[in-house]
């Protein structure tokens, strides 16, 4: 590292990590200790902190995968590293220092295959910053199982202008839902409304039985993550009620300057209520009031799930694709292990796709 930079690895506590996440506009649920610890196990996490003159300027939560006791495997960084300090201008030196630090620790020192899935969409300033800083890394070709395509809604216009930008049919459906005397209840569990997520899970289970779609989403696991998260990082749960009966639900994460739509469900009773439109609009207004800049609609697949695609398209967001995963490795053993594992996983998914080609695929699959 150049003079003036300090790197700390695996020295922070969960509480300290949570506090540091609040320093960054690009923080997200996938970089929380709760998400990593519950989804992958705390013993499989590593936390890197980049400082200059004692000030925290970059963070990276990394998943370590070692299939054997031997010194090879993979370090996987999802939606990071974080480098956009709140209220600060972009600093390319920070991103470059993070790239050097990550490579030195996980490739040089630990001999791992390092795979980074950046929190950046192609063609954006953030994507260019990653591409410049990680120029020594190899971009993975985009294929079905590593491509995240979504709509992102910019929240800077006034709420009136945001409504005008909605697709006409979508806006008409929203107006209909507003005339149906529906009620939206919102909370994150910290307000004593932990029952909201349980209500959502019941609707989600009903919906899965009705639609019989394939998904890797585990709503019970998300529930455990919700309970473990710091209150300020907990997911927002919105339930739409029709005369006291839950008819639709939405779960979203709102951290940094961006919210991400994670889960949605409609009950058997709510198929005609149009509550999903009211939920999305209620969340947008809530985000707008709190100064969020962006709303990521959580993944689209026009071919496998055209219904969800058209619903999300109606919010008139920008159609974007996440930057290619970036990889590097100096270890022949680690590289061979990872590439064999990826090939096997893709073969298994292809077989499942052939067996279940008549079933719609959940848009949330790519998020997990």
DSSP, collapsed to helix, strand or coil, labels residue 331 as: coil
- Residue 267 — very low, low, confident or very high, per pLDDT cuts 50/70/90? confident
- pTM of the model as a whole: 0.89
pLDDT tens column, 67-100: 767 677 999 999 999 999 999 988 999 999 999 9
Q: How high is the pLDDT of residue 191?
A: 56
Q: Can you tell me whether residue 346 is helix, strand or coil?
A: helix
Q: Give the residue among 84, 131, 147, 90 at the shortest CA–CA distance from 303.
A: 147
230-255 burial, b at 16+ Cβ within 10 Å, e below that, comes to beebbbbbbbbbbeeebbbbbbbbbb
Please name the helix (run of DSSP H) or strand (run of DSSP E) that holds residue 200, with its range, or none: helix 195-211
* Residue 10 buriedness (CB in 10 A; 0-12 / 13-18 / 19+): exposed
Average pLDDT for residues 357-367, to the nearest whole number? 36
What is the DSSP-derived secondary structure letter of residue 85? Answer: B
Query: Is a pLDDT exceeding 70 seen at residue 348?
Result: no
How far apart CA 94 and CA 248 sit, in angstroms, is 43
Question: What pLDDT band is residue 357 in, cutting at 50, 70 and 90?
Answer: very low
Percent above pLDDT 90 for the chain:
72
* H or E stretch covering 65: strand 55-65
End-to-end CA distance of the chain: 33
Domains of the chain: 5-146+323-367 (3.40.630.30), 150-319 (3.40.630.30)
* More confident of the two residues 214 and 117: 117
Mean pLDDT lowest among 41-55, 153-167, 204-218, 245-259: 204-218
């Amino acid at each position: 590292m150049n003079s003036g930079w300090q790197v700390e690895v695996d020295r922070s506590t969960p509480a300290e990590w949570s506090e540091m996440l609040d320093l960054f506009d690009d923080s997200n649920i996938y970089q929380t200790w709760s998400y990593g610890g519950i989804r992958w196990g705390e013993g499989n996490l590593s936390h890197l902190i980049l400082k200059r003159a004692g000030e925290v300027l970059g963070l990276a939560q990394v998943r370590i995968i070692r299939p054997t006791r031997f010194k090879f495997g993979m370090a996987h960084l999802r939606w990071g590293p974080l480098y956009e300090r709140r209220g600060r201008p972009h600093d390319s030196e920070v991103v470059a220092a993070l790239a050097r630090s990550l490579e030195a620790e996980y490739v040089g020192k630990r001999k791992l295959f390092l795979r980074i899935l950046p929190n950046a969409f192609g063609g954006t300033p953030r994507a260019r910053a990653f591409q410049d800083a990680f120029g020594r890394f190899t971009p993975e070709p985009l294929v079905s199982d590593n491509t995240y395509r979504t709509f992102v809604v910019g929240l800077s216009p006034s709420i009136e202008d945001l409504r005008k930008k909605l697709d006409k049919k979508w806006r008409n459906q929203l107006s209909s839902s507003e005339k149906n005397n529906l009620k939206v209840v919102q909370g994150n569990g910290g307000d004593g409304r932990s029952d909201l997520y349980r209500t959502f899970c019941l609707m989600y289970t009903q919906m899965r039985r009705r639609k019989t779609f394939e998904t890797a989403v585990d709503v019970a696991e998300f529930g455990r993550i919700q309970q473990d998260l710091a209150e300020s990082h907990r997911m927002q749960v919105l339930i739409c009620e029709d005369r006291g009966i839950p008819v639709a639900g939405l779960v979203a994460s709102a951290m940094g300057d961006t919210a991400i739509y994670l889960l949605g469900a409609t009950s058997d009773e709510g198929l005609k209520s149009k509550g999903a439109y009211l939920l999305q609009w209620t969340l947008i207004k809530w985000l707008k009031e709190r100064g969020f800049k962006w709303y990521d609609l959580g993944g689209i697949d026009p071919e496998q799930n055209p219904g969800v695609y058209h619903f999300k398209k109606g919010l008139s967001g920008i159609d974007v694709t996440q930057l290619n995963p970036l990889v590097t490795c100096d270890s022949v053993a680690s590289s061979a292990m990872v590439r064999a594992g990826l090939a096997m996983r893709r073969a298994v998914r292809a077989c499942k796709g052939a067996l279940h080609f008549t079933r719609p695929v959940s848009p949330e699959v790519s998020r997990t």
